[in-house]
Structure formats: structure tokens, C-alpha cells
């Protein structure tokens, strides 16, 4: 019997789902009207998405149009089985993402996973008169590696006040590299193969002073994560 609780942290876009939720909405918008210009560089992402939502509202998108697009995103292979197994094992499951609360909660609800997820930490979104608004998850200046609206290391440190027996972290993106460097040596990090997080981890592991100290298990199919966490217990059909 495990005395201490265990924690699994998941990114959302391109990790739990195969798509990117923001890109999904931007592409839907593009079918009707050109989306706002992305200036790149130092532009913050949440104000940009706020602009996208304004454009969507002006173009006559209803909340149902946006929510249906989100619901249509497919989970990555093996993800549903993995999240259900973690719920069965009574792990704490944290979804930590630079998407927004409306998208993530709607998707989890669509797939009946709200009970399996302990908490969603993300930018807060809300409807007002059928238009979607978004607020940054945080306003941070301490981590230079991450955007001001979300450093996943800081978010994790704030949220995980308790001691965990095991910690797993699955992600794909550049912003998943920062938390990977702050995980304890007994944690396991699962970068999606061939994505930026995987490349950044490979790079640091081949350097003289690697920033990642924990075990690294790259994955393509979420059954790799399931098998690593619970060997032989949940055979994949």
C-alpha cells in the first residue's frame, strides 16, 4: 500500500489532446474572417486570445460554435485509459496548461473526465453576453524562461504543498521544459517524442551540467506512460 499520495501532471494541448485548442478556434474563425494579426516577439498570448474571442464574437460565433469545436478535439491514443487508470489508483491529477478554463473544463466534461482530474490550473476564461473573456493565470516576473502569464514551475510549487510519493509529468511544449527542470530526482518526466520539450530535454541531458535530474521516458502512445507507472497492471489491448 502506498502511504504517500501520488501526483500526475498533464499539459493539455498536444499532450492530452492531439490538437492545439487555441489553434482550433483560430482556424474556425479563419473560415469566416481573418483572425487578428499575431505580432510575435514580446506579444503576450492571453491578450492575443482575448482579441481572437472578440473577433469570433463580432463574426457571429455563438458559444456553442466554440464549445463544439473544442469538444471535437480527439484525445491522444491511450490518454483516456491512462487518465481513468490514474483515477482508479487515486492519484492526484493536475492539468496545467496555457489554454483556458472554459476550453479545458468543457473538453473534460465531454469525455467524462471531470471526476478523474483533481484540479485544472490555467488562464481563467468566462462568458459575458456570449463573448468569451480570458484572464492570465498569473502575472510573474521571476522566471525569465516563461511568459508572464504562466510559469508552470511556479504554478506547481504553489499548488503542491504536500509531499508526494511519486510524481509524473507529461507534456510536449517549450513551456513544459521549465517544470521538468524543477522536478525532484525521484520524479519521472514524459516528453512527447519529437516535440519541443523532448528536444530541449535531450539537449540539456547531453550538456556537461544537465538541468533535468529526474528519469525521462519519451512517449508516442500514452500506454508507454501507463506501463511505466503501473507495470503489467493495465494491459493494453
Site for Mg ion, rule CB under 5 A? 11, 13-14, 172-173
How many C-beta neighbours within 10 Å does residue 220 have? 12
In the complex with Zn ion, the residue whose CB is nearer, 8 or 156, is: 156
Please tell me the distance from the alpha carbon of residue 225 to that of residue 168, in angstroms, as a whole number: 9
Of the pair 13, 92, the CB lying nearest Mg ion is at 13
Copy the grid coordinates of residue 46.
Answer: 492571453
* 40-64 residues labelled b (16+ CB within 10 A) or e (exposed): eeeeebbebbbebbebbbeeebeee
Return the number of the residue (26 or 61) whose C-beta is nearest Mg ion. 26
153 binds Zn ion (CB under 5 A): yes
> What's 68-120 look like in SS3?
HHHHCCCECCCHHHHHHHHHHCCCEEEEEEEEEHHHHHHHHHHCCCCCCCCEE
Residue 143 as a binder of Zn ion (CB under 5 A): the answer is: yes
Q: Which stretch binds Zn ion (CB under 5 A): 45-53, 171-179, 204-212, 220-228?
A: 171-179
* Nearer of residues 35 and 173 to Mg ion, judged by Cβ: 173
Judged by beta carbon, residue 138 or residue 143, the one nearer Zn ion is 143
Min. distance of Cβ 175 from Mg ion in angstroms?
8
Instruction: Report CA-CA distances (Å) from 34 to 55, 101, 134, 188, 197.
Output: 9, 25, 20, 42, 31
151 binds Zn ion (CB under 5 A): yes
Residue 209 CB, shortest distance to Zn ion, in Å, is 18
Compute the least distance from the CB of residue 197 to Mg ion, in Å: 8
150 binding Zn ion? (CB under 5 A): no
Binding interface with Zn ion (CB under 5 A): 143, 145-146, 151, 153, 178
Amino acid at each position: 500500500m502506498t502511504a504517500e499520495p501520488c501526483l500526475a501532471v498533464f499539459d493539455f494541448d498536444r499532450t492530452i489532446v492531439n490538437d492545439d485548442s487555441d489553434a482550433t478556434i483560430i482556424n474556425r474563425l479563419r473560415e469566416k474572417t481573418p483572425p487578428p494579426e499575431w505580432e510575435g516577439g514580446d506579444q503576450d498570448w492571453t491578450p492575443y486570445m482575448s482579441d481572437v474571442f472578440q473577433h469570433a464574437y463580432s463574426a457571429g460565433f455563438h458559444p456553442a460554435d466554440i464549445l463544439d469545436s473544442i469538444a471535437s478535439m480527439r484525445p491522444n491514443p491511450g490518454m483516456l485509459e491512462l487518465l481513468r487508470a490514474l483515477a482508479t489508483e487515486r492519484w492526484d491529477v493536475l492539468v496545467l496548461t496555457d489554454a483556458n478554463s472554459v476550453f479545458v473544463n468543457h473538453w473534460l466534461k465531454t469525455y467524462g473526465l471531470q471526476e478523474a482530474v483533481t484540479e485544472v490550473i490555467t488562464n481563467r476564461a468566462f462568458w459575458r453576453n456570449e463573448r468569451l473573456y480570458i484572464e492570465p493565470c498569473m502575472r510573474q516576473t521571476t522566471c525569465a524562461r516563461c511568459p508572464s502569464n504562466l510559469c508552470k514551475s511556479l504554478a506547481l510549487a504553489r499548488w503542491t504543498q504536500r509531499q508526494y510519493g511519486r510524481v509524473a509529468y507529461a507534456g510536449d511544449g517549450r513551456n513544459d521544459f521549465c517544470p521538468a527542470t524543477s522536478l525532484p530526482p525521484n520524479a519521472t518526466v514524459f516528453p512527447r517524442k519529437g516535440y519541443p520539450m523532448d528536444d530541449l530535454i535531450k539537449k540539456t541531458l547531453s550538456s556537461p551540467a544537465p538541468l533535468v535530474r529526474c528519469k525521462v521516458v519519451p512517449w508516442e502512445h500514452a500506454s508507454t506512460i501507463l506501463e511505466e507507472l503501473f507495470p503489467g497492471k493495465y494491459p493494453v489491448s
